Structures are given as C-alpha cells and as structure tokens.
Amino acid sequence: MRNATNLNYRISYAAVAGLCAFAGSLFGKLAGTREHIDYVCGALHSLKCRLLDHIEERAKICVGDIEFWLVKAVLVACMILSNTAVWTFFVKALQASKSSLPATLISTATSFILAAVFGALVFGETTSFLWWSGTFMVLFGLLLVSWKRENLSKKED
C-alpha cells in the first residue's frame, strides 16, 4: 500500500510541477510585450463588465503607463511565484521517487503538452509535425531511460 501511495504522490507532485512550469511560461509570455499586456487588460475589462452587468465596450483599460507597468509587474510576480512552485513540487516529487527520471518525465510532458495546446487555443500558435515529433522523442527517451533504470534496480534487489 505504501508503494501505491508513494506512486500517487510522485505522479501528482510531478504533474503539478509541470502545470506550474506551464503557468510560469504563460505569465512570462503575457508580460513580454505591449500587445500581450493589452490582451490581458482587455480580458480583465471584459470580465469586469460581465460581473457588473455593464454593456461591454471596446475601450482599452491599459491606456496609461501606470496601468501598463502595474499589470506587467503583477504578471512578472505571478511568473516568479509559479516558478517557485515548480521547484517546490518538483522537489517533493523527487523525494517520493527512487529516481529523478519519472518526475522529470511527468513534469516535462505536462508542461510541453499544456503549452502546445494552450498556445494553439488562446494565441493561435501553430506547432509543426517536427515540433511534435521532437517533443515525443524527448519524452520517449526519458521514458526509456526511466524504464531501464527501474528494471536494473529491481534486478539488484
């Protein structure tokens, strides 16, 4: 029973680390350019109008430098917090695991796939077949190395 619980923690912590890595990269991307910050401001303005039952206007909310830098600072702070959470959960996944490879595989897969799907849905980014092939080769390589080490450690026991 302890091994099953340990496996659940290892998978959960590693998946949350991958989710936080994706969130950190998303916040970093959003904080990067004026266009992305205006996108965030527009989304916040739309949310405010819906919550307060106002007629939605197409006015920019980030019209001044103060608003721009405030939103940028919040996004950068969220990026830093997300990256801090990555290491917190990744270390917990490593502590629950005999090897670093499963935690690395799970967190990397979670981060890569979420970034690709979210980038396509929200930002209209495209990923080529070459990108997906490379991603799956990296993940498959990590899986092979992890599987080989797990089998070697079982033989030694």
* pLDDT tens series, the chain, 157 aa: 455 455 566 778 999 999 999 999 999 988 888 888 887 887 877 777 777 776 655 555 566 777 788 888 999 999 999 999 999 999 999 988 877 878 888 898 899 889 988 888 888 888 889 988 998 898 888 777 766 655 555 555 5
Cβ contacts of residue 116 below 8 Å, gap of 6+?
Answer: 127, 131, 132, 135
- Which residue is associated with the tokens 């496996």? 7
User: What residue ranges in 12-90 does DSSP mark as E strands?
Assistant: none
In this prediction the pTM is: 0.74
Contact between 130 and 38 under an 8 Å Cβ cutoff? The reply is no
**Using alpha carbons only, what angle is made at residue 39 by residues 33 and 44, rounded to the nearest 5 degrees?**
130
Q: How many helices (H) and strands (E) does the chain have?
A: 5, 0
